Copies of this chain bind each other. A is one copy, B any other.
Amino acid sequence: MLSDDELALLEAIRSTGSLSRAAAHLGKAPSTVSHAARQLETRFDALLFDRRRYRLQLTPAGELLTREAGRLVQDVARLNQRVKQVANGWEDRLHVVTDEILEFETLLPVIRAFDALQSGVRLRLTHEVLGGTWEALREGRADLVVGATNEPPAMPKLRWFELGTMDWVFAVSPRHPLAKVAGPLSQDAVGAHRSVVVADSSRNVGRAYGIVGGQATLAVPSMRAKILAQRDGLGVGWLPRHRASALLRSGQLIEKAMSEPREPNTLYVAWRSDHEGRALSWWLEQLRQPRLAKRLILGLPVSAENR
């Protein structure tokens, strides 16, 4: 291994281009530097210095060594920083997984506030669809899950609280055939039309929201895309009521009563009680604030303006 001193020595030799100057630069005796240099060569079993001329020079091998050694120093410095950070109770990294029905933008202020803490914790945010959130937690891909749907499954050391409930509305474009059907819609009536589903492209499991067996589907990458697709009459399906509200008001989407209404979804925040660090605690504290929870659940209404 390369010691700190040896690294500094190499660097000094490179920059000054001479042993004695390097020695002066390091505040050591010239003989020390000479000795240490030889020792380095012995240890690496390679000629690092070209001593044929008056002032010695680094050989290509020595050049490579100093260059790469410099990078190593940086790596070690970073590691040092990370170790201290972890020792102070901050995680090395925090992986937050949100359910796709939450809009990423609503988390931005929280991320900004977290950044302002200067904790050094590397944030990683991804999203999953349906049970994918719980699975991510179980498999250790997630440290914190926000907005998970369905009941929390049995899992050792699982902890959770409710974020809130989300109301749904079955809505169609005014130009869609279902718009003209009077009275509450039955499952069969809906099944004859194509439904729009949010599907996760990254993991190719056939997961999607609100699929009924055998129904034709249009898979889109996000809830926002689903709302827009239904506005344009490309298909039908359940939408978060608040996010569709503006379009419902402007008449670009029409609410349809259903023979089997959809129960409001309860959304959960969940984590594992092992490795609870300061970053996780901070996030939990934020998410327990009713104002933030409400903003997350409601999401950003899709504006009626952009047609």
CB <8 Å contact, A59 and B45: no
Q: Which residues of B contact A45 (CB under 8 A)?
A: 84, 87
CB <8 Å contact, A65 and B46: no
Q: Does A7 contact B (CB under 8 A)?
A: yes
Interchain residue pairs A-B with the least CB separation, the first 4: A46-B87, A1-B4, A61-B87, A61-B86
A72-B79 in contact given A1-B2, A3-B3, A45-B84 (Cβ < 8 Å): yes
A76-B1 in contact given A64-B86, A68-B82, A83-B64 (Cβ < 8 Å): yes
Q: Which residues of B contact A162 (CB under 8 A)?
A: none
Can you name 25 A-B residue pairings with CB atoms under 8 Å? A1-B2, A1-B7, A3-B3, A44-B83, A44-B84, A44-B87, A45-B84, A45-B87, A46-B83, A46-B84, A46-B87, A48-B87, A60-B275, A60-B277, A61-B83, A61-B86, A64-B83, A65-B83, A68-B79, A69-B79, A72-B72, A72-B75, A72-B76, A72-B79, A75-B75
Min CB gap A86→B, angstroms = 4
**1/0 contact trace for A41-85 toward B, CB 8 Å?**
000111110000000000111001100110011011001101110
| A-side interface residues, number (CB < 8 Å) | 32
Rounded to whole angstroms, the CA-CA distance of A1 and B1 in the bound complex is 9
Q: Which residues of B contact A75 (CB under 8 A)?
A: 72, 75
Rounded to whole angstroms, the CA-CA distance of A151 and B205 in the bound complex is 57
Min CB gap A189→B, angstroms = 51
Min CB gap A127→B, angstroms = 27
Which residues in A have some Cβ–Cβ distance to B below 8 Å? 1-4, 7, 44-48, 59-61, 64-65, 68-69, 72-73, 75-76, 79-80, 82-84, 86-88, 92, 275, 277
Q: Which residues of B contact A275 (CB under 8 A)?
A: 60
Rounded to whole angstroms, the CA-CA distance of A2 and B82 in the bound complex is 15
Min CB gap A46→B, angstroms = 3
Min CB gap A64→B, angstroms = 5
Among A7, A46, A86, A275, the one with the most B-chain Cβ atoms within 10 Å of its Cβ is A86
Rounded to whole angstroms, the CA-CA distance of A94 and B116 in the bound complex is 45
Q: Which residues of B contact A92 (CB under 8 A)?
A: 64
Q: Which residues of B contact A61 (CB under 8 A)?
A: 83-84, 86-87
Chain B residue at minimal CB-CB distance from A69: B79
CB <8 Å contact, A1 and B73: yes
A2-B76 in contact given A61-B86, A65-B83, A87-B61 (Cβ < 8 Å): yes
Min CB gap A121→B, angstroms = 13
Rounded to whole angstroms, the CA-CA distance of A275 and B63 in the bound complex is 13
Chain B residue at minimal CB-CB distance from A6: B1
